[in-house]
Amino acid sequence: MTQKKKKTIRMIPQARTPAHEQDPHERARNFLEVNCGYHVEDALLEAERCLLCPEQPCVSGCPVNIAIPDFIQRITEKDYRGAYDVITATNLLPAVCGRVCPQETQCEGVCTVGESLEPVAIGRLERWVGDLAIKEGWSNVPYIEPSGLRVGIVGSGPAGMACAADMAKAGCEVTVFEAFHEAGGVLKYGIPDFRLPNAVVDAEIGKLEQLGIRFECNTLVGRLFSIEQMIEEMGFHAVFIGTGAGYPSFMGIPGESLNGVLSANELLTRCNLMRARDFPDYDTPLQPGRQVAVIGAGNTAMDALRVCLRLGAEQVRCLYRRSRAEAPARAEELHHAEQEGIEFQWLVSPVEILDDGNRNVRAVRCVRMMLGEPDESGRRRPVPEPGSEFEIEADMVVYAIGTNANPIIGQTSKLRLTPRGYIATDDNLATSIPGVFAGGDIVTGAATVIEAMGAGRRAARGMKAFLGLRDTDFVYQERPAGPAATLFGIDRAEHGYARVRLPR
């Protein structure tokens, strides 16, 4: 790599390169992808905007520490395959993460360019590279020396996929168990196609299969066999649990059992995974709402709102008890939802769901809220405004106010849990059973895709230490070869180069 003259903020294209998007009116009625991404010329232009600053705050802002300036530089050098190699050294799913990461609070949020201009569109560049790799059929299948060790992964969502990939690269025979009939977890059942097409998820899963990872669907671990049985009877040397936190919360207000009230999880699973939107070609039903109220303003709420719009609802409202500034959704999703005509009612909280006399929803009675003193999350606590109750007409109410820990693993194993039902782990994500690790939402509570992937990778490091495998994070990274980088032909970055299994 040749070091060019140092770039300054004045030399770079000042405006962020926009991504191609479907027209809001058109897209609000279809399930095609909203953000159509970059063309090559867009990517080249945007890549120019990276200053390649020495501090590289973006790298530490990324939960999996992608070498961001490095891959962007490869794009400017038109070494696209090289850019893909840099990203996949730490992140196996660039096409997914480029689409669903909350970049504004991660890499882009700390970008040096962002101090004076709009930050570099790192997410769009990552996605462009990921999509190109899918189109070109690139994959990085390293030479893997089998270690003879078997690893079982429970849950095929982002945490499980990330852990599976790292363990497969370390030479383990990896099997991923999934309760649904298709692998992918929240990427499949939760995130809708207009944000993350299922074909992209399948392409990324295909790459994991090329690493030798086996996916076993229709397998409910805990009930079909227990975690203890995996270790004691089924011959797994280590197990990772990434079952997520999908146990939806309701508010406990009157009227929640009326027909037309459902969780965002149910709505999204029916629509996305079960393809109820293509009823009757697919058998799963979904009674579409005409006037929909979605409670909550996170990413799941945005997905639910926009799905309802696409299913043909006339009016879709978001009810959130805080203001727009506190809404936890990714900035782009909120913006897209507003563009598509979602009506936002900020500082509003439901107190009762009202009946039409036939056990169907007629309306939601709400109360207006005011923002009081900051609470423990640092956000201002909403307090009800006395005497401000009013009704909003609705025939469908969707709850997107968060989830709790899935109880199945807790019910069926002796794993130590936290008081709230999540799996208790140490810093290396090891659980109370030796050889069993856990990560993602089932440990931390609901979070993002990339945080779950980060947890999966962290657990993989702990697992490798437990199994006595060398840390292969270094081995397959592309680094300049040459006498300085190696000693007797062995990569200097590699500490324990002999494959040693520690006595247990």
Partner 1 sequence: MANATGGAGYEVVTRQDFSDVTFLLEIRHPLLAKAARPGQFVIVMAHEHGERIPLTIADFDRDKGTITLVIQAVGKTTREMQRDLRAGSRLHGLVGPMGEPSHIGKAKKVLCVGGGLGVAPVYPQARAHKASGAYVIGVLGFRNRDLVFWDDKFRACCDELILCTDDGSVGIKGMVTEGIRQAIARHPDIDECVAIGPPIMMKGCAEATRPHKIRTVVSLNPVMVDGTGMCGGCRVKIGDRVKFACVDGPDFDGHLVDFDDLMFRLQRYRATESEANKRYDENCRMRNPEAAR
Question: Which of these segments, 132-140, 212-220, 442-450, 485-493, binds partner 1 (CB under 8 A)?
Answer: 212-220
Does 407 bind partner 1 (CB under 8 A)? Our answer is yes
Does 219 bind partner 1 (CB under 8 A)? Our answer is yes
Q: Residue 241: helix, strand or coil by DSSP?
A: strand
20, 135, 223, 499: which one binds partner 1 (CB under 8 A)? 223
Question: Which of these segments, 119-127, 275-283, 386-394, 434-442, binds partner 1 (CB under 8 A)?
Answer: 275-283
Sites for partner 1 among residues 174-203 (CB under 8 A): 179-183, 189
Of 163, 48, 194, residue with least CA distance to 430:
163
DSSP summary character for residue 273: I
Q: Give how many residues touch partner 1 by CB under 8 A.
A: 47
- Rounded distance, CA 96 to CA 113, Å? 24
* Cβ distance to partner 1 smaller for residue 222 or 462: 222
- Distance of closest approach, residue 309 Cβ to partner 1, in angstroms: 19
- Rounded distance, CA 455 to CA 63, Å? 9
Of 241, 264, 176, 259, residue with least CA distance to 437:
241
Of 152, 292, 138, residue with least CA distance to 213:
152
Question: How far does CA 38 lie from the centroid of its chain?
Answer: 21
2, 116, 377, 411: which one binds partner 1 (CB under 8 A)? 411
Does 279 bind partner 1 (CB under 8 A)? Our answer is yes
Does 103 bind partner 1 (CB under 8 A)? Our answer is no
The Cα-based distances of 45 to 12, 19, 84, 120, 456 in angstroms read: 9, 12, 18, 11, 34
Does 282 bind partner 1 (CB under 8 A)? Our answer is yes
Question: Which of these segments, 15-23, 219-227, 294-302, 432-440, binds partner 1 (CB under 8 A)?
Answer: 219-227
- Distance of closest approach, residue 141 Cβ to partner 1, in angstroms: 19
Does 272 bind partner 1 (CB under 8 A)? Our answer is no
Q: Nearest 5°: phi and psi at 406?
A: -70, 130
- Rounded distance, CA 129 to CA 138, Å? 10
Does 247 bind partner 1 (CB under 8 A)? Our answer is yes
Question: Which of these segments, 12-20, 129-137, 283-291, 296-304, binds partner 1 (CB under 8 A)?
Answer: 283-291
- Distance of closest approach, residue 278 Cβ to partner 1, in angstroms: 8
* Cβ distance to partner 1 smaller for residue 250 or 390: 250
Does 497 bind partner 1 (CB under 8 A)? Our answer is no
H helix intervals, 9-121: 24-27, 40-47, 57-61, 68-76, 80-88, 94-100
- Distance of closest approach, residue 360 Cβ to partner 1, in angstroms: 9
* Cβ distance to partner 1 smaller for residue 150 or 381: 150
- The interface mask with partner 1, positions 117-146, x = CB under 8 A, is ------------------------------
Does 284 bind partner 1 (CB under 8 A)? Our answer is yes
The label of the residue with tokens 């849990």 reads: 417
- The interface mask with partner 1, positions 332-371, x = CB under 8 A, is ---------------------------x------------
Question: Which of these segments, 47-55, 80-88, 104-112, 249-257, binds partner 1 (CB under 8 A)?
Answer: 249-257
Does 150 bind partner 1 (CB under 8 A)? Our answer is no
Q: Classify the C-alpha dihedral 5-7-13-18 as positive or negative.
A: positive
Please list, in sequence order, all residues whose beta carbon lies within 8 angstroms of the beta carbon of residue 303, skipping any fewer than 6 positions away: 190, 191, 192, 195, 264, 268, 333
* Cβ distance to partner 1 smaller for residue 90 or 243: 243
- Distance of closest approach, residue 217 Cβ to partner 1, in angstroms: 5
Please list, in sequence order, all residues whose beta carbon lies within 8 angstroms of the beta carbon of residue 96, skipping any fewer than 6 positions away: 130, 158, 187, 196, 200, 201, 204, 449
Question: Which of these segments, 15-23, 401-409, 448-456, 457-465, binds partner 1 (CB under 8 A)?
Answer: 401-409
The label of the residue with tokens 């520490």 reads: 65
The CA-to-CA distance between both ends of the chain, in Å, stands at: 45
- Rounded distance, CA 72 to CA 2, Å? 14
38, 80, 215, 236: which one binds partner 1 (CB under 8 A)? 215
252, 419, 482, 489: which one binds partner 1 (CB under 8 A)? 252
What token pair was written down for 125?
Answer: 């560049």
DSSP summary character for residue 50: -
Mapping DSSP onto H, E and C, the string for 401-465 reads CCEECCCHHHHHCCCCECCCCCECCCCCCECCCCCEEECCHHHHCCCCHHHHHHHHHHHHHHHHH
* Cβ distance to partner 1 smaller for residue 84 or 399: 399
Q: Which residues bind partner 1 (CB under 8 A)?
A: 179-183, 189, 214-220, 223-225, 246-248, 250, 252, 256-257, 259, 262-263, 265-266, 269-270, 274-275, 279-287, 359, 399, 406-408, 411
